[in-house]
């Protein structure tokens, strides 16, 4: 019965997305969820049983595309910038995200800029699939303990981040860079490059939450991955690879003007709570 209820709930969510004009190609997974709930074979239901914490988070986060606009009047615009300004200034007196944005604009034709911009964009966008792919590999290889530790830790981290997004929605640095301390509205909430095929336009095309910069889950996810692998006793090369990926992600977030350094530190500060929960629940 609970699988049928879950299937009905997912179907109803799909209808709401369609009616509100928010149904996109990324929701192709919804019919798969419904099929898995109603299938008579045990394998699809086994997948749902193993992955339901992550699936529940994704559905709840994705629902923000239908109601996230209600948070716009209380998005924190100036305060995160002031924190960054007080703690992390570049040699030129700018905060680092603005420093890199201006450097990129001034050095657009230079080789370093032409390499860094697409490279950082690739690292930044890898957030969408990197950790899920790793977890799928662990699940397929039946590395049950490590899979469960990662699943629980990432689920707790994600829900903590989501709760903060709702309680304290925060503007990313690119918003202040383009608009000053202006409050976002439904009519004005997109970057100026939205229609140019830029990284920002790609992110905004599919993002369910436009003003959830603090904490940065982009920075927290690879950091948590590194921490879980280290505590699990994984091979050194995998820990080193995950740590290098985390460092690249942090740099990319700042270089692309997507996150303040304080956003990244806030995300990292949440990871011990997620790891400890996973340890208590899974040993």
Residues 117 and 65 both lie in one domain: no
Give the model confidence (pLDDT) of 262-280 as tens digits. 999 999 999 999 988 877 6
Average pLDDT over residues 91-120: 86
Residues 211 and 266 both lie in one domain: yes
Question: What percentage of the chain exceeds 70 in pLDDT?
Answer: 91
The pLDDT value given to residue 78: 96
Residues 84 and 49 both lie in one domain: no
Average pLDDT over residues 19-34: 74
pTM recorded for the entire structure: 0.87
Residues 98 and 61 both lie in one domain: no
The rounded distance, in Å, linking the Cα atoms of 127 and 27 is 18
Residue 268 and residue 219 in contact, taking contact as beta carbons nearer than 8 Å: yes
Give the model confidence (pLDDT) of 205-218 as tens digits. 667 788 989 999 99
Residue 222 and residue 245 in contact, taking contact as beta carbons nearer than 8 Å: yes
Domain boundary among 28, 44, 70: 70
Range of the structural domain that residue 20 is part of: 1-70
Give the model confidence (pLDDT) of 107-146 as tens digits. 877 777 788 888 998 999 888 888 888 888 888 887 888 8
The b-or-e profile of 39-71 (16+ CB within 10 A means b, else e) is eeeeebeebeeebeebbebbeebbebbbebeeb
Domain boundary among 14, 46, 70: 70
Q: Does pLDDT of 196 surpass 80?
A: no
Average pLDDT over residues 223-239: 89
The pLDDT value given to residue 199: 59
Q: Does pLDDT of 21 surpass 80?
A: no
- Give the model's confidence band at 85: pLDDT under 50 very low, under 70 low, under 90 confident, else very high: very high
Residues 198 and 262 both lie in one domain: yes
Mean pLDDT of the chain: 85
Residues 266 and 197 both lie in one domain: yes
The pLDDT value given to residue 25: 67
Residues 163 and 242 both lie in one domain: yes
Domains held by the chain: number: 2
Residue 124 and residue 174 in contact, taking contact as beta carbons nearer than 8 Å: no
The rounded distance, in Å, linking the Cα atoms of 211 and 196 is 21
Residues 179 and 84 both lie in one domain: yes
Give the model confidence (pLDDT) of 146-181 as tens digits. 888 889 999 999 999 999 999 999 999 999 999 999
- Give the model's confidence band at 197: pLDDT under 50 very low, under 70 low, under 90 confident, else very high: low
Residues 259 and 154 both lie in one domain: yes
Domain boundary among 42, 70, 98: 70
Residues 105 and 199 both lie in one domain: yes
* Phi then psi dihedrals of residue 103, to 5 deg: -65, -40
Positive or negative: CA dihedral 53, 55, 58, 61 = negative
The pLDDT value given to residue 204: 67
The pLDDT value given to residue 200: 58
Give the model confidence (pLDDT) of 63-77 as tens digits. 888 888 899 999 999
Residues 32 and 92 both lie in one domain: no
Residues 131 and 43 both lie in one domain: no
- Give the model's confidence band at 10: pLDDT under 50 very low, under 70 low, under 90 confident, else very high: confident
């Amino acid at each position: 019965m609970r699988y049928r209820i879950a299937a009905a709930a997912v179907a109803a969510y799909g209808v709401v997305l369609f009616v509100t004009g928010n149904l996109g190609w990324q929701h192709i997974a919804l019919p798969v969820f419904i099929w898995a709930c109603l299938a008579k074979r045990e394998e699809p239901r086994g997948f749902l049983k193993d992955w339901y914490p992550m699936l529940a988070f994704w559905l709840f986060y994705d629902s923000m595309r239908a109601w996230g606009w209600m948070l716009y009047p209380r998005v924190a615009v100036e305060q995160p910038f002031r924190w960054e300004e007080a703690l992390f200034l570049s040699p030129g007196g700018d905060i680092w995200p603005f420093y890199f944005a201006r450097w990129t604009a001034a050095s657009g034709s230079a080789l370093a800029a032409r390499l860094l911009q697409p490279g950082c964009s690739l690292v930044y966008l890898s957030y969408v699939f990197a950790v899920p792919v790793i977890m799928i590999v662990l699940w397929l290889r039946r590395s049950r303990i490590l899979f469960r530790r990662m699943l629980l830790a990432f689920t707790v981290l994600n829900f903590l981040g989501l709760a903060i997004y709702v309680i304290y929605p925060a503007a990313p640095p690119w918003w202040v860079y383009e608009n000053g301390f202006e409050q976002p509205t439904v009519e004005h909430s997109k970057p100026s490059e939205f229609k140019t095929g830029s990284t920002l336009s790609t992110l905004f095309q599919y993002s369910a939450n436009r003003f959830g910069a603090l904490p940065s889950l982009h920075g927290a996810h690879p950091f948590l991955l590194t921490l879980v692998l280290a505590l699990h006793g994984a091979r050194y090369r995998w820990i080193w690879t995950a740590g290098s990926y985390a460092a690249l992600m942090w740099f990319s977030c700042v270089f692309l003007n997507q996150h303040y350094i304080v956003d990244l530190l806030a995300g990292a500060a949440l990871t011990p709570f997620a790891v400890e929960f996973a340890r208590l629940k899974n040993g």
